Amino acid sequence: MKNEDLLVQVKEKAKMWLEGNFDQETKDAVKNMLENDEAQLIESFYKDLEFGTGGLRGIMGVGTNRMNIYTVGMATQGLCNYLKKNYGENTEIKVAIAHDCRNNSPMFAKTVAQIFSANNIKAYLFESLRPTPELSFAIRHFGCKSGVVITASHNPKEYNGFKAYWEDGAQLIEPHDKNVVEEAATISVDEIKFEGNDALIEIIGKEFDEIYLNKIKELSLNPEIIKKHNDLKIVYTPIHGTGVELVPAVLRKFGFENVFNIPEQDVVSGDFPTVVSPNPEESAALNMALEKAKSIDADLILATDPDADRVGIAIKNDKGEFILVNGNQTAVLLTYYLVHQWNEKGKLHGKEYIVKTIVTSELMAEIAEKYKLEYFDTLTGFKFIADIIRKNEGRKTYIGGGEESYGYLVGDFVRDKDAISACAMIAETAAWAREQGKTMFDLMLDIFIEFGFYKEDMISITRKGKSGAEEIQKMMDDFRMKPPDSIAGSDVMLVHDYLQQKTFDQLSHLRYDIELPKSNVLQFITQDGTKVSIRPSGTEPKIKFYFSVKGDLLTRADFYKVDAELDKKIKHIVKELGL
């Protein structure tokens, strides 16, 4: 479409907002864009903000392509309509609603509650900001059919989002996700019921936090060890987000007495004033925590993202230097502790299992196999881990699981990644390591010695716009049509094509079915254990490449040598694939 044609189309859409059932402030902002800012007008109206399978996420502002009370209202009304179709008009429908620290989050959450109540749906609304996992817990606790959290996770401050959940406390999956998307797409602004019924809105306060925290406390496997090592020095930062009260509270409840905060980052703010990005995956977000940890000679650093469903950690290496631990390594440390202790305490009876995603470290599978423990692989996204838990409920016992993108879940009373419980259990892992005369770094190296040294890395390639999307698709098509015969000198043994739901054995030339939902993901597995995974992002104009290589670590002293060799191997693979 030519720019002038697009502008004509955009102006027609914008004029509808001048005439429609919108508030005067919104109309004034649209009029200003029409008269003074064509570039902003195009960005705000050139498409509709899509209600995807995870909900809405976008820049806040006026227009069809922005997060505002009208786009949020259409999504909520669509969810209301689907809930009534699914459960019937005569069924009591209850929902839970939470929000994070972002600008406008309280307003959006209140708007959502008003719309639910206007549709004769009872809404449990948290009194103030709360972590996403607590929302998941509340859905099951109150017997809700659905739930909504207002959050844009770790996106920049300009963004906000609307994430929808089902009755099991997990994010929507098929068929509900697609059905809600279709329902929301039919809603016009005139159909949104904004005038709520306060009698159907119940405010949830701090008393519920205690119920949630007490449930997390039940996860503790070694309270006596924490009692011995309650002086473990822990630095924690919520990065201005929802973990600000509950993470220190749960650490104290577990028995840790030496928890240090970062006052500047305890300030709840959607502007995230001390960081460029509130993302614990990025080292810069932990700079202030690292400085604090160095000044007090801390043992462990914990950092949660704005909605406190993901956690990043830092530990001291054998040189006394703080190093950031990636998501795969944290998942491995936590999984090893859980499985080892369940085994030591006689809690493994043959029906227990763990879950990871297909792009997460195979070291988790190695640990499961040693302890004769069942493990499941799922597609990327914690909703798929939750689906495994739901399917096995009442038959098997979930111990824990995680994904490389800093999300972990211990126990099954929450059905989304949970940084609140993860912080407590990671700290308990550190206390357990100290009880054995080890640091977390020692423990990680000992795991590598026992199971093999797995090293993972990931790169993202961004290609914006229509041409970028076509380029990303061509890359996928090229790798799908002509997979590499070898990677870093090792023959490619298996090609997993999750879009075709087939595994191709390059040696025997046989094909096997993949029993996972369709997804545009490719994986290449070589004879030496190297794994390369390729997937376009579902929320950003990116294609992601995940690399996993394996080596032997015989002693702790060999760590840096083997680490450098594996790092060199990953760099060689990146070059070999032409990235």
Which 8-state DSSP code applies to residue 188?
-
Output the DSSP codes for 48-70. Answer: PPP-BTTEEEEEBSSSTTSBSHH
Number of domains in the chain: 4
State which of 171, 204, 237 marks the end of a domain: 204
- Taking only the tens place, the pLDDT of each residue in 105-125 is 999 999 999 999 999 999 999
Same domain flag for 121 and 131: yes
The phi, psi pair for 303, rounded to 5°, reads -140, 125
Same domain flag for 237 and 344: yes
Same domain flag for 113 and 157: yes
Same domain flag for 261 and 331: yes
Same domain flag for 483 and 355: no
Same domain flag for 165 and 278: no
| pLDDT number for residue 403 | 95
State which of 400, 430, 451 marks the end of a domain: 451
- Taking only the tens place, the pLDDT of each residue in 158-190 is 999 999 999 999 999 989 999 998 999 899 999
Helix or strand run (H / E) with residue 443: helix 440-451
State which of 451, 473, 497 marks the end of a domain: 451
Same domain flag for 144 and 290: no
* Residues 307 and 242: beta-carbon distance below 8 Å: yes
d(Cα 75, Cα 78) in Å, to the nearest integer? 5
**Cα separation values, 80 from 21, 86, 87, 193, 277, Å:** 20, 10, 11, 10, 34
Q: Is the pLDDT of residue 199 over 60?
A: yes
Q: Give the chain's mean pLDDT.
A: 95
Q: Is the pLDDT of residue 470 over 90?
A: no
Same domain flag for 105 and 222: no
List the catalytic residue out of 153, 361, 405, 533.
153
CATH number at residue 75: 3.40.120.10
Average pLDDT on 82-88 reads: 95
d(Cα 463, Cα 160) in Å, to the nearest integer? 23
First-residue to last-residue Cα distance in the chain: 31
153 is catalytic: yes
Domain assignment of residue 365, given as a range: 212-451
Same domain flag for 347 and 254: yes
Output the DSSP codes for 147-173. Answer: EEEE--TTS-TTEEEEEEEETTSSB--
CATH number at residue 482: 3.30.310
- Taking only the tens place, the pLDDT of each residue in 407-440 is 999 999 999 999 999 999 999 999 999 999 999 9
Same domain flag for 463 and 445: no
Question: Residue 539's pLDDT band (boundaries 50, 70, 90)?
Answer: low
Same domain flag for 501 and 543: yes
Give the torsion sign (CA, 335, 339, 342, 347).
positive
Same domain flag for 13 and 57: no
| pLDDT number for residue 362 | 96
Percent of the chain with pLDDT over 70: 98
